């Protein structure tokens, strides 16, 4: 009898703990579900939008860069590897032209290997301060070494040295490995120009579709999508 009571005593606190965990989980889920915002800042109309997506992007980019947005040039880059597994990460836009969007990275990184296997990518800018998204799909290719070198040598010295010091996306034993490599390269290049690594440079994403998303009240958002078909851009409105 005393043994049974002992088991019961041990089980009861455990049951209470399980109930508490479920209660906390339920509360957290309800709290997340209650987070919402009604968008009312602006609208987007087909007639008022530019004929080409790059011109429309320029209009929105000018709005974004004058709206005190932190890391305004940050966007999510999504890639697909040779096994069709998707991956996303935040990178920084470093320029754009009528032909596409430019960023720089380590060519030996995971994203570098993924775009080598599959050049189809997606980009997403989210400017919450303006209640706007820009969604881009297209194909990617490397820019010239000369263009990469010009940008590389405009970077802070520490960033140039860092490009030589970090085997991006590879497993390393510890933080000290990275710091030692950086220190060695800092000493190596302290009196000369840091050369452009062959494994580092720029990409340009040539868009084939660009969607401009403007948040609206009651989730009735404005969505204007441009598609490049038959050597010209066309645009349509999408339901939110």
Positions annotated as catalytic residues are 219
Q: Whose CA is closest to 148, among 193, 110, 103?
A: 103
Give the CA diameter of the chain: 86
Q: Let me know how long the chain is.
A: 240
Q: How many CB atoms are located within 10 Å of the residue 172 CB?
A: 11
Measured CA to CA, the distance from residue 23 to residue 188 in angstroms comes to 58
Name the phi and psi angles at 145, rounded to 5. Answer: -65, -35
Tokens of 172: 């390393």
How is residue 194 written in tokens? Answer: 């840091």
The contacts of residue 165 (CB under 8 Å, 6+ apart) are 178, 181, 182, 184, 185
Residues 148, 151: Cα–Cα separation, whole Å:
5
141 and 229 in contact (C-beta within 8 Å)?
no
Contact between residue 91 and residue 103 where contact means Cβ atoms under 8 Å apart:
yes
């Amino acid at each position: 009898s005393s043994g049974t009571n002992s088991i019961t005593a041990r089980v009861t606190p455990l049951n209470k703990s399980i109930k508490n965990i479920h209660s906390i989980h339920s509360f957290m889920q309800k709290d997340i579900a209650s987070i919402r915002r009604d968008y009312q800042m602006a609208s987007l109309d087909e007639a008022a939008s530019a004929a080409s997506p790059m011109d429309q992007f320029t209009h929105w980019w000018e709005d974004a860069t004058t709206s005190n947005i932190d890391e305004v040039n940050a966007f999510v880059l999504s890639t697909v590897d040779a096994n069709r597994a998707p991956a996303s990460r935040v990178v920084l836009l470093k320029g754009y032209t009528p032909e596409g969007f430019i960023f720089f990275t380590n060519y030996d990184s995971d994203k570098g290997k993924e775009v080598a296997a599959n050049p189809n990518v997606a980009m997403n800018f989210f400017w919450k301060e303006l209640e706007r998204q820009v969604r881009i799909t297209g194909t990617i290719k490397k820019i010239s070494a000369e263009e990469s070198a010009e940008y590389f040598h405009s970077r802070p010295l520490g960033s140039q040295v860092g490009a030589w010091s970090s085997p991006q996306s590879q497993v390393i034993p510890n933080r000290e490995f990275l710091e030692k490599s950086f220190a060695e390269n800092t000493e190596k290049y302290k009196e000369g120009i840091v050369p452009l690594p062959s494994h580092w440079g720029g990409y340009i994403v040539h868009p084939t579709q660009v969607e401009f998303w403007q948040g609206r009240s009651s989730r009735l958002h404005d969505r204007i999508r441009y598609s490049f078909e038959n050597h010209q851009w066309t645009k349509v409105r999408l339901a939110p």
